[in-house]
Copies of this chain bind each other. A is one copy, B any other.
Amino acid sequence: MDHRFGTTPIKAPLSDEELAGVNSTNRGLAETLGIRISYVDGERTEGYVDVTPDHHQITGIANGGLYCAIGETLGSIAAVAASGAVAVGMNNNTDLLGSVAEGRIDAVALPVHVGKSTHLWRVEMYHEAKLVATTNLKLMVLRDRS
C-alpha cells in the first residue's frame, strides 16, 4: 500500500495509484460489502457502495448495518489519513434517515474534531442526492505505537 498512508499525516490527495493501493489492501469487510474508496486527503475521505440484494434486510431495502459499516470504514480511513497513526473506533452512532433498495450510496467523511488522542468524524451518505444516513464515528488514536 501507499507508503505514506498510516505512517504520516496525508497532506495532499492520494494519487490514483495510491487509492488503488488502499482499495486492494482494504480487504475483509470492506471488500465483502463492496465498499470502494475514491478520494482521500487529510481532511476528507470519499467512497461508495453499489447496493445489491446482498445488502438487504427482509423487507427488500439495505440493512441498516450497511450504513454503519460504510461510516466505520470511511471514518477510520479518514482518521488514519489525518493522523498518520493507527486509529481504533470506539463509538459508531449511525442515524438511518432513508431507504435504498438499489443503486449507489455515495459517502463522505468530514472532520468534526481532530484531537491528539481522539477524533470525531461525521460520515454523510447520499443516494440520488438525498441524505439517507449519517455516522458519527469516535476513534482513539494510538500515537505511541512504534
Name A residues whose Cβ lies closer than 8 Å to a Cβ of B.
25-33, 53-59, 62-73, 76, 86, 88-97, 112-113, 115, 117-118, 120, 131, 134, 136, 138, 140
Contacts A92-B94, A95-B112; A56 near B28 (Cβ below 8 A): yes
Question: Chain copies in the assembly?
Answer: 4
Q: Which of B28, B91, B120 contacts A58 (CB 8 A)?
A: B28
Contacts A64-B92, A94-B68, A96-B92; A57 near B32 (Cβ below 8 A): no
Q: DSSP majority for the A interface? A: mixed
B residues near A26, Cβ cutoff 8 Å: 57-58
Contacts A63-B73, A65-B73, A73-B57; A112 near B134 (Cβ below 8 A): yes
How many angstroms from the CA of A6 to the CA of B55 in the assembled complex?
Answer: 20
Contacts A27-B56, A90-B138; A131 near B112 (Cβ below 8 A): yes
Which of A57, A97, A120 has the most chain B CB within a 10 Å cutoff? A57
How far is the CB of A58 from the nearest CB of chain B, in Å?
6
Chain B residue nearest to A96 in the complex (CB): B89
Check if A65 sits within 8 Å of B63, measured CB to CB: no
Chain B residue nearest to A68 in the complex (CB): B68
Check if B63 sits within 8 Å of A30, measured CB to CB: yes
Contacts A29-B54, A134-B112; A118 near B94 (Cβ below 8 A): no
Check if B68 sits within 8 Å of A138, measured CB to CB: no
B residues near A86, Cβ cutoff 8 Å: 59
